[in-house]
Amino acid sequence: MVENQSSNVQPKAQILSFEFRNTGMGGFDDVVILSFRTRKPVKSILRKSRSGNHGSRSYKLFPGKYLMYEVSRSNSGNLYANVAIITLQEDGQVKTEKEWQICRGHEQLLDLDHLPKEIREILIANKDELPLFQYVFPFSFNEEE
């Protein structure tokens, strides 16, 4: 009977944390994890410092495949954004399967049209919940409206 119980062990959830920053000078850092299954952002906990300018965003995730939207803007306005397919393994390790660098500084490297259809659809459907989306994808954002 013990053998049957061990074969029904559920995967253990892992905690992933990312730095958060929102300065009064325009600087901003955040990471949003989206589920391929629900096609929505995964619920997270945002803990901020007393000033509210810095902190961390934590996700409780089960092993599986996720879409990661990462954005960073310097105080001087340089924008950096990446979209990646990540896999969280049962041991808590995160592997990046595929990553796209969208923009670097003032240079737009990729647009929504360069991303696979499924990823593009998930991002567009959640654009209101993705920080700085209109700056990361300025041309697509204006065409969609």
The per-residue pLDDT for range 91-128, each reduced to its tens digit, is 989 999 999 999 999 999 999 999 999 999 999 999 99
Alpha-carbon distances, residue 109 vs 22, 121, 145 (angstroms): 24, 19, 22
**Domain 12-136 of CATH type 2.60.40:** yes
Residue 8: per-residue pLDDT: 66
Q: What is the mean pLDDT of the chain?
A: 90
Residue 11: per-residue pLDDT: 79
- Residues 36-82: pLDDT tens digits? 999 999 999 999 999 889 999 999 999 999 999 999 999 999 999 99
Domain ranges in the chain are 12-136
